[in-house]
Amino acid sequence: MWTEFEWENKVAVSAQSSDLRGYLDHLKDSTHMEILTPENALSGDCSYLSANLSAISSFGEMALANCSIELTDDGTITGHIRIRSKTQGIVSLFHFWSRVTRRGADE
């Protein structure tokens, strides 16, 4: 399904948080996306996390996202989020949401 969506945006992540799962949950809540990755794949104590998310807009447009983040030695989160959709508008809107999300995660 990922290849069916031709518009893509990649957003760098840099957050002053040390909780990878907390950051993913904040991203989910801020963007109103659902986590597709099974819970057992997200559990455990590790210094990296990769998860897939999806959402359907009020106009019926679907978007997929991949969040790949890691906890650095200095206790910050770095990585990137890739969003794909069939329309450019959803991808651009997610870029805005993710900037807001990064600010919220740093608080």
What's the pLDDT score for residue 98?
58
pLDDT tens, 63-87? 899 999 999 999 899 999 998 988 7
Return the pLDDT at 4: 75
Q: What residue numbers bound the domain in which 60 lies?
A: 2-106
Residue pLDDT tens, the chain, 107 long: 667 788 888 888 888 888 999 999 988 988 888 999 999 999 888 899 999 999 888 888 888 999 999 999 998 999 999 989 887 777 776 666 655 555 445 44
Between the CA of residue 2 and those of 5, 21, 50, 65, what are the distances in Å? 6, 23, 15, 9
Dihedral (C-alpha) 16, 75, 55, 29: value to the nearest 10 degrees?
-60
Find the CATH number of the domain harbouring 62: 3.30.310.10
Number of domains in the chain: 1
